[in-house]
Structure 1
Amino acid sequence: MKLTRKQLALPAAVLCALGLVASGCSSTRSYTTHSASQPGASLAEVGKTIPNPGTTGTADEPTSSAAEPTSEKATTTADSKADAAFPVTVTSCDKELTFDKAPENVVILGVSGAAAMKELGVLDRVKYRTGDIRTGAFDAATQAQLEAIPTIAADKLDTGGSKVSTEALLAVNPDLVVGYETGADMDALDKAGVAFYSPNAFCPTTSTGKASFDLVGRELDTFGKIFGLSDKAADTDGVLKGEVATLVPQGDGLKAAALYITPGSTTFYTYGNSSMVQPILEVNDLNNVYADNSKRVFDASMESLLAENPDWIVLLSDEGTDKETMDTFLGFPGAEDLKAVAQKRVVVLPFALTDPPSPLSVKGAVELNKAMIRSVQ
């Protein structure tokens, strides 16, 4: 195939991923990490957006992810005493990823994996991100650190999250991309030799069964292996489990539902028993009215919500303010007839405090607990 002048200007990895050349392209899933200073696009100035050459997409369910630490320790470079030997292999959806060393030039979609990496002290390895960061999920210091990371231009998905092109990702020469399967072309990245890790909660072919806080430990364990910090991951999991154990439930066994709301939208989603919404409600002694559905997230209607008529409603959103989220929900026809609305038992939380399983999921349980206490005072 004769390549055009424009195609020849593309990085070799991009040509491989797009199938324009065959020589030198590898399909191996063993990934060698490298520093951000190697050939490829140079690091952008803090806060600068790197243009996206293009790629649009849609999704059929809300995406976003995140994870947030419970300690207030400042994020620094990971311990020099990494306790995991390399190479190390982890599973992402239905693929095995093998790392020769800990990644140093990481891209995250939204805040995917941010909390786990912050908890392990390796958030400084994240050199680029996509999308906006909703306030409220992270402490002020971590929020500021995330906002200072240069962004790669991406298209917004209709139901939350962002979609970034393969060219835009390869241009910044990452050794690891952390995100969700609707946010990037995982196969194209794999062909280009770039590891893409997606939490199991976002894998279309992977079922975690009924969700529990044990899933938080599994995700921490995976990130611990990737960065050679398995012992630290285990210690962190122990601390988080202690936080869950000390919660004093406020739900009295009442019915509840969690809804994903996009400010200004006319539709919403709800969550079944494979979402972290399930254990978050359970630990607060609330019964998920959609717990008999094994799907993580699915379309909901006001008709079904009125039929269930939960005592508590948790509104989740990736965008806008709490007020915008609440106003959108209250604007749905029939919302005023709900018991939870009449009794002022509607709580707004950042979606990142639920899925995928992460330290933020524990924070979500704690924040819901606090909101319930405030509402009855």
Structure 2
Amino acid sequence: MRKYISCMSLSASAFVLALSTTAVRAADYPVSVQSCDREVVFDAAPKSAVSNDVNLTEMMLVLGLRDKMVGYTGISGWKTLDEKMREGVAELPELSEKYPSKEVLVGADADFYFAGWNYGMKVGGEVTPESLNPFGIKVYELTESCIHIGGKPKVSMQDMYNDILNLGKIFGVEEKANDLVAGYEAELEAFQSTLKVLEHPVRAFVYDSGQEKPFTAGRYAMPTAMIEAAGGRNIMDDFDKSWAKVGWEAVVERNPEVVVIVNYGNVTAEQKIEFMKNNPAFADMDAVKNDRFVVLEYVEATPGPRNINAVKKLATAFQGK
């Protein structure tokens, strides 16, 4: 629910100050941000935003933007909300359990859609920045996802920071965004300084889903950056993809020392671990022989505010603590 300042409750001087503050904020616009291969200009802060997926929604919430939102999409159809997220979105409707249609966004009177490629939009699909533009709905694309429509550098923690900072510009909360990112950077640096230096980066494999062929994180997916920040190396960091399928043969050949399980959906983390431990093809894999598995929730494994804690969890597993 939006909060409004009552003019009757303010003194004359305070009311003038409130008006002048509003004028200063309004004067900060227009602002422009880089969204994948597009420059997007905002003449004012969005008032009716929609976010897709649990991690993108958390970015909005951590910036205090719930009162600028009319809803979210793409959470209950894929994942189970934890208690923290239930509280965060308690007053917001889920407009679509999975990817929203154009009609859903238009029907919600949305003026902003925070999504990504394979995070609420598909290349060549119905919902794209171009298809929403005629309805006055501006789109900001998740940085990690930009590889699906063109080239980008290898993923880094900066990808997540970039989204927080750009959302800060778009919604006129730059100071809060800057403080958040500075806090994340300082927290990560302080934690890394406590880690013992390993002789070699720990070989890690990300197991998202699938039995016939595993769905995993490649060069452009966020777990690669978090694994490196934790003192490891994704054995698929030369896989020129974001999230995609590979053959089990390549995994066995590269022999991971730790398997990172992404927990979501109908198959539990425990079931994924049991599948690997009970499959004779994986019996000689170091991670299986030594029972070295670490579980990340979906919201930790994808770009968002929980990435710093995810790095800590990975580092603890890598260092055998």
Please, what TM-score do these two structures have when normalized by structure 1?
0.67
- Aligned positions of 1:11-50 closer than 5 A: none
Which residue is 2:65 aligned to?
122
Asked if 1:342 is matched to 2:312, the reply is no
SS in 1 for 2:250: helix
Which residue is 2:13 aligned to?
none
Which residue is 2:223 aligned to?
277
Contact 2:61 2:88 in 1 (8 A): no
SS in 1 for 2:208: strand
SS in 2 for 1:163: coil
Asked if 1:171 is matched to 2:96, the reply is no
Which residue is 1:94 aligned to?
37
Please, what TM-score do these two structures have when normalized by structure 2?
0.78
Distance 1:359 1:112, change over 3 A: closer
Contact 2:205 2:258 in 1 (8 A): yes
Which residue is 2:133 aligned to?
190
Seq. identity, % = 23
Distance 1:332 1:180 in 2: 35
Letter of the aligned partner of 2:104 in structure 1? Answer: A
Letter of the aligned partner of 1:257 in structure 2? Answer: F
Which residue is 1:289 aligned to?
235
Contact 2:50 2:70 in 1 (8 A): yes
SS in 1 for 2:188: helix
Which residue is 1:40 aligned to?
none
Which of 166, 184, 189 is the matching residue for 1:245? Answer: 189
Deviation at 1:341, TM superposition (A): 1.4
Deviations 1:101-160 (A, max 9, x none): 222221111225223222221133232122335458x7x444422355311234xxxxxx
- Aligned positions of 1:52-63 closer than 5 A: none
Deviations 1:40-77 (A, max 9, x none): xxxxxxxxxxxxxxxxxxxxxxxxxxxxxxxxxxxxxx
More helix by proportion, 1 or 2? 2
Which residue is 2:7 aligned to?
none
Distance 2:270 2:236 in 1: 25
Which of 155, 158, 162 is the matching residue for 1:211? Answer: 155
Which residue is 2:204 aligned to?
256
Deviations 1:268-323 (A, max 9, x none): 22223322222211122112212223422332121111101110110124424432
Contact 1:84 1:229 in 2 (8 A): no
Which of 142, 157, 170 is the matching residue for 1:199? Answer: 142
Asked if 1:355 is matched to 2:291, the reply is no
Deviation at 1:241, TM superposition (A): 0.6
Distance 1:118 1:164, change over 3 A: closer
Indicate the structure whose relative CO is greater, using CA pairs within 8 Å and at least 6 residues apart: 1
What is the aligned length?
286
Deviation at 1:246, TM superposition (A): 2.1
- Aligned positions of 1:117-156 closer than 5 A: 117-132=60-75, 134=79, 140-146=83-89, 148-154=91-97
Which residue is 1:312 aligned to?
258
Distance 2:27 2:202 in 1: 45
Letter of the aligned partner of 1:168 in structure 2? Answer: V
Distance 1:174 1:332 in 2: 48
SS in 2 for 1:113: helix
Asked if 1:230 is matched to 2:178, the reply is no
Distance 2:274 2:90 in 1: 27
Structure 1 residue runs of 4+, over 6 Å off? Answer: none
Deviation at 1:83, TM superposition (A): 9.3
Letter of the aligned partner of 2:286 in structure 1? Answer: K
Distance 2:215 2:197 in 1: 22
Distance 1:189 1:312, change over 3 A: same
Distance 1:327 1:250 in 2: 31
Between stretches 82-91 and 208-217, larger displacement belongs to 82-91
Unaligned 5+ segments in structure 2 are 3-20, 122-126
SS in 2 for 1:359: coil
Unaligned 5+ segments in structure 1 are 1-34, 36-78, 155-161
Contact 1:313 1:346 in 2 (8 A): yes
Distance 1:98 1:287 in 2: 38
Distance 1:102 1:331 in 2: 53
Letter of the aligned partner of 1:261 in structure 2? Answer: S
Deviation at 1:82, TM superposition (A): 5.3
Distance 2:251 2:93 in 1: 41
